[in-house]
Structure 1
Amino acid sequence: MTRDLSEVRFLTVAEVAEMMRVSTMTVYRMVHAGELPAIRFGRSFRIPESAVADAIRPGLCDVG
Structure 2
Amino acid sequence: MVYVDTADITWLNTGESARRLGITPRTLYRFIDDGKVPAYRFGRVIRLKESEVAQFIEECRIAPGTLDISALEPEESEPVTPKSAT
TM class by smaller structure: 0.7 to 0.9
SS at match of 2:7: helix
Count of residues paired in the alignment: 60
Per-residue deviation, 1:38: 0.8
Q: Which residue of 1 aligns with 2:60?
A: 61
Name the structure with the higher helix share. Answer: 1
CA–CA separation in structure 2 for the residues paired with 1:4 and 1:42: 19
Matches within 5 A, 1:1-64: 4-57=5-58, 60-61=59-60
Q: State TM-score, norm by structure 2.
A: 0.62
> Secondary structure at 2:47's aligned position in 1?
strand
Moved over 2 A (4+): none
RMSD of equivalent CA atoms: 1.8
SS of residue in 2 equivalent to 1:6: coil
- Larger relative strand fraction: 1
TM-score, normalised on structure 1?
0.81
Gaps of 5+ in 2: 63-71, 73-86
Larger Rg: 2
Which has the higher relative contact order, 1 or 2, with Cα contacts under 8 A spaced 6 or more apart? 1
Structure 1 position 42, deviation (Å): 1.8
Identical positions, percent: 35
Which consecutive residues of structure 1, in runs of 5 or more, have no partner in the other structure?
Answer: none
